A and B are shown apart, each in its own frame.
Chain A
Amino acid sequence: GAVVSQHPSRVICKSGTSVKIECRSLDFQATTMFWYRQFPKQSLMLMATSNEGSKATYEQGVEKDKFLINHASLTLSTLTVTSAHPEDSSFYICSARDYGSGSTDTQYFGPGTRLTVL
């Protein structure tokens, strides 16, 4: 099946710094990617929908200037957490839809990025 990768898998940074997380679809083109955040022992919360070549669509309550999303190519979306603070520490998971597959609802998830802000 299709594979979605994320980099880095784990990052620790100081408060106030910015962190970029990459999400790549390895063997398919993804016009749409999704970014989720998951706090310990909680569910995945959709943060934003990333569309190739256009602005991302953010969910209510998610600051677009805080969480910058760039979907510059059909295989890469990036999430930048700007001026990170300890409350931004979380597990960030990206997902991509494979419209080229037989099922238009095939959505694959990356392995996640654990962000810890000190």
Chain B
Amino acid sequence: SQQGEEDPQALSIQEGENATMNCSYKTSINNLQWYRQNSGRGLVHLILIRSNEREKHSGRLRVTLDTSKKSSSLLITASRAADTASYFCAKRETSGSRLTFGEGTQLTVNP
């Protein structure tokens, strides 16, 4: 399967709370990327973490990578209603140029 696994599949929180999404993968990676997709729209690149990195920050986003467990997490702090979207992790395999996507987490932030 192309897809890694993401959990949870759906997450509903209140505005101001933090949201954590997890992504696991099976093969070796060069890097792992997180994307956001609003309903029926294209993808927006959020953050990239390389295989030799453990943590990266970008504004309210924090991404961690644990290559020993083959997993990554995306934390959105102080969530806003506008953060409501689907979030996907995508892995760049070391063996080629393919970028393959996880199943995604549908985040709903209630005002």
Closest 8 CB pairs of A and B: A111-B42, A109-B43, A44-B101, A43-B101, A43-B103, A109-B42, A112-B42, A43-B104
B-binding segment of A66-74, A78-86, A91-99: A91-99
**Shortest beta-carbon distance from B3 to chain A in Å:** 6
- Residues of B at under 8 Å CB distance from A? 2-3, 30-31, 33, 35, 40-45, 48, 88, 92, 97-104, 106
Interface of B is mostly: strand
In the bound assembly, the distance between CA atoms of A45 and B104 in angstroms comes to: 12
In the bound assembly, the distance between CA atoms of A52 and B3 in angstroms comes to: 26
Supposing A46-B2, A49-B98 touch, asked if A107 and B45 sit within 8 A by C-beta, the answer is: yes
Interface of A is mostly: strand
In the bound assembly, the distance between CA atoms of A117 and B34 in angstroms comes to: 31
- CB distance A112 to B31 under 8 Å? no
In the bound assembly, the distance between CA atoms of A91 and B44 in angstroms comes to: 16
Subset of 24 A-B contacts with CB under 8 Å: A36-B101, A42-B103, A43-B88, A43-B101, A43-B104, A45-B2, A45-B101, A46-B98, A46-B99, A46-B100, A46-B101, A49-B97, A91-B40, A95-B99, A105-B30, A105-B33, A105-B48, A105-B92, A106-B45, A109-B42, A109-B43, A110-B42, A111-B41, A112-B41
